[in-house]
Structure 1
Amino acid sequence: MIVRYFAAARAAAGVDEETFQLPEGADVAGLLEAVLAVERPVPPAGTPPLARLLSRSSFLLNEVAVRDRATALAPDDVVDVLPPFAGG
């Protein structure tokens, strides 16, 4: 599955997107564990760590909002990470 990062999540992850191979029956929570298991460089100054951003982020599964982290995933799914943002 593909994980795409936006805004501060992109800065904290150090990449725009990455691919994960998870076992059958994996869910959003398991994907987030895999995301956090990746060794990453220190984020730029002023950017929160990825773990903190993920705890506050919203997620889209194939462009549909998903709130339940127990939601099952398929190998060809796309998960977007949308950190909190403000602006006008």
Structure 2
Amino acid sequence: MNVDHEIELLVQEIHRLGTARADGKLAVTFGVLFNDDRCANIFEALVGTLRAAKRRKIISYDGELLLQGVHDNVEVCLLQET
């Protein structure tokens, strides 16, 4: 799969699983994304897709690398649509 397509799928999953924050932006925790069955079937490398989307300023989250368990409560915020 190409990166652009995976980022589009990520945005769709954030819409499906996320909730609106006080500033109106959608956000979901990494743990919710990582543990979701549908996401597990879509993304072969979720962390890689998240990093690519962060580099393109489509999403934001604290830190460089998210690890399951350790970073389950880190919020992934959607900054812009693809």
TM-score, normalised with respect to structure 2: 0.35
Q: Per residue, is there more helix in 1 or in 2?
A: 2
Higher relative contact order (CA 8 A, sep 6+): 1
Structure with higher Rg: it is: 1
Q: Which has the higher strand share?
A: 1
